Amino acid sequence: MKRRYFFPSIDSCAAARQSWPVSGTDTPNIVVCGGGPAGLFAAEIAASLGAKVDLYEKMATPGRKLLVAGKGGLNLTHGGDREHFAKQYQGDDTPMGFWEDCLSEFDNQAIREWALGLGIETFKQRTGRVYPREMKAAGLLRRWIVRLKESGVTFYNRHTLIDFSEKDQVELYFSTPEGEKSITCDGAIFALGGASWPRTGSDGQWQNMLEKHQIGVRKMQSANCGWECEWSADLLAGAEGLPLKNVKAYANGIACLGELMITRYGLEGGIIYQLGHALRQMANPVLVVDLKPTFSIDQLRSKGRISNWNLSQAAHALLDWSLSHQEGCPAERTKQLPIPLLRPRPLAEAISTAGGVAWKSLETDLRIKQFRSIFCAGEMIDWEAPTGGYLLQGCLASAKRAAFAAMEAWNNRWSHEFSHHDLLVTDCRILANSVVFLSKNHGGNRCTPLPYQCRRTRLTTCLQGQTLPSSAKATTRGKLGRITTC
Ligand SMILES: Cc1cc2nc3c(=O)[nH]c(=O)nc-3n(C[C@H](O)[C@H](O)[C@H](O)COP(=O)(O)OP(=O)(O)OC[C@H]3O[C@@H](n4cnc5c(N)ncnc54)[C@H](O)[C@@H]3O)c2cc1C
């Protein structure tokens, strides 16, 4: 059965937190490793849910890749509907319905509202792409970090996660300029990014660390990148740096409309980014281009000479190149022009990474299966999506899920402990449409706020401001407990 989450909004959680009398020892300490968009957002959500959050980043400052993304205008999300959105994400063994569910918890409207909350207005282009008005990431990142610090998130830069373990608590080991350091925490979220643009800190070095713990990692490969092919000197002389606009291309049975750019080493552009996944599935990758998608072969023939076909300079040069090494009919070749590709451009140049932490190693709430309280988020997981705003949207949505799950795991530790005991409720409130109560278990002396049990915990009689009647009952994780007020 598909698992559905009914999470309160960040605002309602923040409102609730202000009112919860959470004592120091009862506040979970959540550590986020990686200060890219996924890590920053996971930190924001965990802090808004009441956690004490520490964020560890290997570089001198967080968000370096986000700043690089800002150079292209920072395509925050896409305006497409949810069904269209979820179809953009690919990754072997992705749990069925994962992206539909995950994006329903944080969708393209939510990301725009979140940006607006930082004072960053967004606009939607005719293509559906959504950008901040200022077309940069610097302002957004600056305000985001200020807001995180104000909400209590502590940043530790120049800290590289090198290992981890879990007993009662999670133990994390870091390499720092002052030497190695270890810390303990109640839960950890790894948001260590992919392996493209390693100079931003996202170098995929974490792969060995995870594999040491038998966590599956699928080979990291270039995604949203150019592909190499062998052009002739004539082709380059006539078309290098020129676009092929409004063309259609096919790879492995998948079609895509858009633009390609002829470069010294091969091809760049939206079409080839989008078809990257399909091309990587082919033993001998070939891109087949239709230079005149709105004309049939007969229509082209009826126009007479090639000079009447209104081909762009790049299209003309490409057709000449193709006919020069393989004879054929120009009209047929214009409609079906094969370009054998050698390989994708190196990962260091790619916009994003395919591969990463294997879905088989993760629960749907993004917990690493063999650990109770360690989660993953963002691009380090084995998913890919084309450019167009889907990458950041996927990073933030997965970060939200991981942060909620980390908080839930912390709560469930206590519920596991007290589920065999009667609940001793010391206080009870209704906040943000949820019943929130503080309880003690009879077996121990811990007094724990149970905010997130609410959707599993139903008090039979409870009105705001009322003391719990001695007959009140609560179910926790399906188990019925007797509540005694004190
Ligand atoms: C040129 C370019 C343009 C792009 N444009 C867009 C765009 O317009 N729209 C879009 O949606 N996406 C875009 N992207 C992609 C987007 O930037 C990424 O998908 C996104 O940054 C991934 O977020 P993340 O938090 O998962 O990982 P990252 O942003 O890669 O962050 C991971 C962080 O973890 C840190 N880290 C790594 N290892 C360790 C460790 N062992 N210990 C501690 N810290 C560690 C890294 O230093 C890094 O700061 C672009 C990318 C590039 C390269």
Over the stretch 62-76, which tens digit does the pLDDT of each residue have?
999 999 999 999 999
Q: What's the 37 CA to ligand 1 centre distance in angstroms?
A: 7
Q: Give the closest residue (by CA) to ligand 1 atom 38.
A: 192
Q: What's the 62 CA to ligand 1 centre distance in angstroms?
A: 10
The one-letter code for the residue type at 130 is V
pLDDT tier for residue 21 given thresholds of 50, 70 and 90: very low
The arithmetic mean of pLDDT across residues 410-437, rounded, is 48
pLDDT tier for residue 413 given thresholds of 50, 70 and 90: low
Residue 5: inside a domain: no
Phi, psi torsion values for 31, nearest 5 degrees: -110, 130
Q: What's the 204 CA to ligand 1 centre distance in angstroms?
A: 11
**166 neighbors 177 (Cβ within 8 angstroms):** no
Q: Give the closest residue (by CA) to ligand 1 atom 4.
A: 69
Report d(CA 372, CA 168) in Å as an integer: 10
Phi, psi torsion values for 286, nearest 5 degrees: -135, 130
The predicted pLDDT at position 26 comes to 66
Domain of residue 30 covers: 10-221+348-413
Give the strand order in the sheet containing 179-185: 160-166, 170-176, 179-185
Task: Write the pLDDT tens digit of every residue in 312-340.
Answer: 999 999 999 999 989 999 999 999 999 99
Residue 4: inside a domain: no
Task: Write the pLDDT tens digit of every residue in 261-279.
Answer: 999 999 999 999 999 999 9
Report d(CA 25, CA 28) in Å as an integer: 8
Same domain, 69 and 135: yes
- Is it the case that residue 351 has pLDDT exceeding 90? yes
Same domain, 382 and 404: yes
Shortest-distance atom of ligand 1 to CA 377: 26
Shortest-distance atom of ligand 1 to CA 75: 8
pLDDT tier for residue 82 given thresholds of 50, 70 and 90: confident
Mean pLDDT estimate for the chain = 85
Number of domains in the chain: 3
pLDDT tier for residue 422 given thresholds of 50, 70 and 90: very low
- Is it the case that residue 126 has pLDDT exceeding 80? yes
The reply to whether ligand 1 has any atom less than 6 angstroms from the CB of 191 is: yes
The arithmetic mean of pLDDT across residues 99-127, rounded, is 96
Q: What's the 59 CA to ligand 1 centre distance in angstroms?
A: 12
**Of 359, 382, 413, which marks where a domain is finished?**
413
**Of 363, 379, 413, which marks where a domain is finished?**
413
Q: Between 214 and 448, whose confidence is greater?
A: 214
Residue 3: inside a domain: no
- Is it the case that residue 83 has pLDDT exceeding 90? no
User: Model pTM?
Assistant: 0.84
pLDDT tier for residue 240 given thresholds of 50, 70 and 90: very high
Q: Give the closest residue (by CA) to ligand 1 atom 7.
A: 75
Same domain, 245 and 264: yes
Nearest to 253 by CA among 234, 277, 280, 278: 278
Q: What's the 194 CA to ligand 1 centre distance in angstroms?
A: 7
Q: What's the 193 CA to ligand 1 centre distance in angstroms?
A: 5
Same domain, 286 and 322: yes
The reply to whether ligand 1 has any atom less than 6 angstroms from the CB of 317 is: no
Same domain, 404 and 276: no
**CA neighbours closer than 13 Å in the CB half-sphere of residue 286:** 8
- Is it the case that residue 200 has pLDDT exceeding 50? yes
Report d(CA 35, CA 153) in Å as an integer: 12
Same domain, 100 and 173: yes
Best substitution site from 64, 65, 208 to test ligand 1's pocket, by max atoms within 8 Å of Cβ? 65
